[in-house]
Amino acid sequence: MQAYNSELFLTTSEAAELLGVHPSTVKRWTDADELESEKTEGGHRRLYLRSVLGFAGDRGIATYLAPFEPFESHVWLAVRDAVRHDDFERMVSLSLGWLLRGYPKRITALLQELGGREDLSFARVCDGLIRPFMKEVGTAWREGRLRIGEEHMASQAIVEALIRLTTEPLARSGPSENGAEPPPLALVGAMEGDEHHLGALCVRILLEREGWNVHYLGPNTPAEEFATFQRRHGASLVCISFSPPARGAKMRRCLDILSAFYRADEPYDLVFGGGAAGAVHEDAEEVPFRTFRIFDGAESFAHWIRHRSLEPSTRTPQ
């Protein structure tokens, strides 16, 4: 992996975005020869990335590329592809390269940067980067190109970034002084026997950003615990992730236990995600829940959450 592309250039607007200033400020700096630039035959300014980063360092201007030295150009190109073209291929390749070279903290920093950007939805980051990256890691492990320790290192790098991206505020247990209702409550976790909970962590962040209060139960959570906590706290949504290869029998058992505990006077929606897709079928299940949905991606789940109140109940009459 080449560390730096010294010929990579930016437009005035791109340099301004990187430096956190208005494009007119960049023009003023270039006109005063404070920031090196060149002009095309058409009169447009071009600024080399190395010059912009050097200028930022001299001025004490922090940029999101600083933690990635000496791979700033790779990261800038990867972020540009993701934001402008919805293309995460370069980013997945970059992350896998870092893993192979023993740089897991760079993976964590990259995901943290992407997860905090306003010009890129977090659901898209989940589906475009996290899922394909972990799929590539799994393939590399099965083919003998990665050791089990490196697979664990990849998972942990993602987990650390996701934990840092959680934004859950202190939850209100009842109406506030001005009479506002508390946020809706969701239970989120990974199914019993499943130590991989990246999908559940992604769901937690998506819900928190939509204003939900989330009780996160973590990995390897028995179905009985989801049922007990739902009753105890009155959660209106229960989300359970299954990592592939998930077995239909395990999901069916989970569904049966939650159905047995369900009380019609405390309705809630049940969502299965990840490896559940294809193992059980929501349309074929006669279940008591207000709704029962299965999602294989973060974007479809995020869309459903935003329109959840408009969806009719699929509860089987009792």
Please indicate whether the domains covering 1-63 and 66-165 agree at the CATH topology level.
no
Domain ranges within the chain, ordered by starting residue: 1-63, 66-165, 185-310
Per-residue confidence band for 57, with pLDDT thresholds at 50, 70 and 90: very high
| Residue-wise pLDDT tens digits, 71-88 | 999 999 999 999 999 999
We find that the CATH architecture of domain 1-63 is Orthogonal Bundle (1.10)
Fold of 66-165: 1.10.1240
| Residue-wise pLDDT tens digits, 101-127 | 999 999 999 999 999 999 999 999 999
Helices (H), the chain: 12-19, 23-31, 49-59, 72-85, 89-100, 104-115, 122-125, 131-142, 148-165, 198-209, 223-233, 248-261, 298-306
For CA atoms 110, 112, 118, 123, give the dihedral sign.
Answer: positive
Q: Spelled out in words, what is the top-level CATH class assigned to the domain 185-310?
A: alpha beta
Mean pLDDT of 165-171: 64
Res 316 pLDDT > 90: no
Round to whole Å and give the CA distance between 273 and 240: 6
Per-residue confidence band for 303, with pLDDT thresholds at 50, 70 and 90: very high
pLDDT of residue 211: 93
Mean pLDDT of 9-31: 95
pTM score, whole prediction: 0.88
CB atoms under 10 Å from CB of 61, counted, come to: 15
Per-residue confidence band for 129, with pLDDT thresholds at 50, 70 and 90: very high
| Residue-wise pLDDT tens digits, 261-287 | 999 999 999 999 986 566 666 665 688
Per-residue confidence band for 312, with pLDDT thresholds at 50, 70 and 90: low
pLDDT of residue 311: 57
